[in-house]
């Protein structure tokens, strides 16, 4: 799991850190709430596809 230092961001309060497996954490996030989603997790094809499908639901329309 990658560790990121939020203190380097001017918007650190707007960047909560979620720990856990992406397939579990993505289900907890609101649908249609993100402009951009960066996926960097398990590189096995079935896990990448699962992250893509779960993440797609979280993207805002248009």
**Per-residue pLDDT at 14:** 66
Instruction: Please spell the DSSP secondary structure of 5-33, one letter per residue.
Output: -GGG-TTGGG-----S-HHHHHHHSPTT-
- Give residue 41's pLDDT: 84
Distance CA 52, CA 27 (A): 12
**pLDDT confidence tier of residue 3, bands split at 50, 70 and 90:** low
Instruction: Note if the pTM is more than 0.85.
Output: no
pLDDT of residue 60 exceeding 90, the answer is yes
**Using one digit for the tens of pLDDT, what is the confidence trace for 4-50?**
666 676 766 666 778 899 999 999 999 999 999 988 888 899 999 99
């Amino acid at each position: 799991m990658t560790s990121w230092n939020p203190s380097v961001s001017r918007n650190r309060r707007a960047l909560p850190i979620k720990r856990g497996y992406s397939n579990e954490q993505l289900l907890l996030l609101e649908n249609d709430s993100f402009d951009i989603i960066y996926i960097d997790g398990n590189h096995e094809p079935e896990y990448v596809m699962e992250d893509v499908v779960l993440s797609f639901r979280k993207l805002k329309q248009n």
